[in-house]
Amino acid sequence: MWDILPGIEFASQELHEFDLHPVHSLSLAHRYQLLDWVSAPVRKLLASPLEQYTQDTRSEEKLDFDVYMTIATAKETIADERKCLGNHPPFPPNFDVQPFCSQHNTCKRVWTEKWFFTVVRRIYHPTTPLPLSSIPGVLEDTDHRGMNPECKRSILDWLRDCVHIQKEENLIQETIATVCDLFT
Ligand SMILES: [Zn+2]
């Protein structure tokens, strides 16, 4: 036990102090069984292009094939989710009749325009894509001038519990759990 501890401490420090390539971080996490360290690099890889998975890494630090496939498959599923959500401005199923509003067509137009011009650009951003779970917060802070505030509130209340908003974070957490299983 005593000869293992310094190695673990060294790896922990190294992970803390340097901005390591996520593949390097994962290889250290695997080697020293630091399962707490799996989350951050997996999140980073899920948000990075596949070509960066092997960039600037040494040959002994390549991802194991099953780890690579787990992350790449999740990445593809997440990309589908993001595309699907981006192309369809979210409306609650009963929004046409609730809440009562005398200018509902304007509400829908303002909401749709802001969705495409503010949120979709950030969802599809090439280097810092907006996490889907952050969408309700971004929309809350967006100026929806012209829209009935009660209608905005009604959509946001529904959106926070919407399965499509939560799906990306659920997939990320499942992927982290699967990688941890593969490391043990
Ligand atoms: Zn309205």
The answer to whether the beta carbons of residues 30 and 171 sit under 8 Å apart is no
77 φ, ψ to 5°?
-60, -40
DSSP 8-state assignment for residue 53: G
Ligand 1 centroid–CA 132 distance in Å is 24
Map tokens 């952050």 to a residue.
134
141-184 per-position pLDDT tens digit: 999 999 999 999 999 999 999 998 999 999 999 999 999 999 99
Residue 50 has pLDDT above 70, yes or no: yes
Ligand 1 centroid–CA 150 distance in Å is 7
d(CA 18, CA 14): 6
pTM for this predicted structure: 0.81
112-142 per-position pLDDT tens digit: 999 999 999 999 888 888 999 999 999 999 9
User: Domain limits of the chain?
Assistant: 21-90+165-184, 91-161
| Both tokens assigned to 100 | 């009562």
pLDDT at 10 (0 to 100): 66
Ligand 1 centroid–CA 123 distance in Å is 25
